[in-house]
Structure 1
Amino acid sequence: MTEMHPGVAAQPPEATRGFRFNHSMLRVKDPAVSLAFYTHVLGMRVLRKLDFAEMKFSLYFLARLEREDEAPADAGERMAWTFGREGILELTHNWGTESQPDFKYHDGNAQPQGFGHICFSVPDLAAAVRWFDENKVSFVKRPEQGKMKNVAFIRDPDGYWIEVLQPDLLRGLGQPAA
């Protein structure tokens, strides 16, 4: 059973059967820098890259795969497989931004606020924090800081916030203090 709140449909409409959340998109200044971060620091893999020369942009579709996951070799099959998955991150690169020294995307957390963050769950938050420190990842908030403990926020190369949490440490999150 899921939670009910004002505005929540009692049941998903039958017309939405089979709908699945596939991906979120972030714009990146320099794909080489962002791909290094997401593949090395967070262990994601690039599933597909699409170039749109006439519009001067590229799309990179990444996912965190388990060792047993095999992407199809055929380009068309790989495309269908990618768009049938859940938990995909699309990085969009508008060509030329990487050579503009002062170019920067809005991270959604500065004013005016909008987009907030993406999130990764990890099996061991302390080990993840050590890994981020070893890789000189910028922290917005460490797990022991602030009022919300056991949750970290790091920044990607474009300044987007990434929440990092260990699910079993959050059983009491949002509950009144005992």
Structure 2
Amino acid sequence: MNIVAKMIHSMLRVLDEARSLAFYEEALGLKVADRVVFDSFTLIYLANAEQTFELELTINHGRKEAYALGDGYGHLAVSVEDLASEHARMEEAGFTITPIKTLENNGRTIGTFFFLTDPDGYKIEVLQRGAPGRFL
């Protein structure tokens, strides 16, 4: 049996819809592709022209306290054409970012990247596209 699964979205629970939508549009160019409102929650799908993969934001109506991210969540990852320019742009915009780093193993470059933190504390790895390593 040969199963080929296509990744289609990842979901994050967020507290403040407007704050999250503004962040993801300004930081990553993601815009609302669809919105589905239920009685107790809303699903918002974000996308851009770079891919078919979507980020699903879930807003649970009436929730007032921040979500505990726990120690199991790692990060989302995106790739960009010009890592240094994106780092400078995000720093100027006041986003929470780390310095640019290069990860190497036995002389092999795995990736050049920095981390961006969204308003709810989720980490997003921003990688140089086309650099040595495995990132598109």
Please give the range of the TM-score, normalised by the shorter of the 2 chains. Answer: 0.7 to 0.9
Structure 1 unaligned residues grouped into runs of 5+: 1-12, 67-84, 174-178
Gapped regions of structure 2 (runs ≥ 5): 105-109
Where has structure 1 moved over 6 Å in runs of 4 or more? Answer: 145-149
Structure with greater Cα Rg = 1
The CA distance in 2 between the partners of 1:149 and 1:138, in whole Å, is 20
Corresponding residue pairs, total: 130
Match of 1:133 in 2: 91
1:42 lines up with 2:28 in the alignment = yes
Q: Give the CA deviation at 1:29.
A: 0.3
Q: Which has the higher strand share?
A: 2
Which SS does the other structure have where 2:13 is aligned?
Answer: strand
1:129 is aligned with what amino acid?
A: H
TM-score relative to the length of structure 2: 0.83
In 2, Cα distance between the equivalents of 1:172 and 1:57? 37
Q: How big is the alpha-carbon RMSD for the aligned residues of Structure 1 and Structure 2?
A: 2.5
- 1:65 — aligned with what? 49
Which of the residues 38, 63, 87 maps onto 1:52? 38
- Contact in 2 for aligned 1:116/1:161 (Cα 8 Å): yes
Give the corresponding residue for 2:67. 105
Identity of matched residues, %: 38
Maintained 8 Å contact 2:103/2:112: no
Letter matched to residue 47 of structure 2: A
TM-score (normalizing by structure 1): 0.65
Partner of 2:107: none
Residue type at the aligned position of 1:155: T
Give the Å deviation of 1:104. Answer: 1.4
Asked if 1:25 corresponds to 2:29, the answer is no
Q: How does 1:5-24 map to 2 (within 5 A)?
A: 13-14=1-2, 16-17=3-4, 19-24=5-10
Shift, 1:96, TM fit:
1.8
- Letter of the structure 2 residue corresponding to residue 95 of structure 1: H
Does structure 1 retain, via aligned residues, the 8 Å contact 2:82–2:129? no
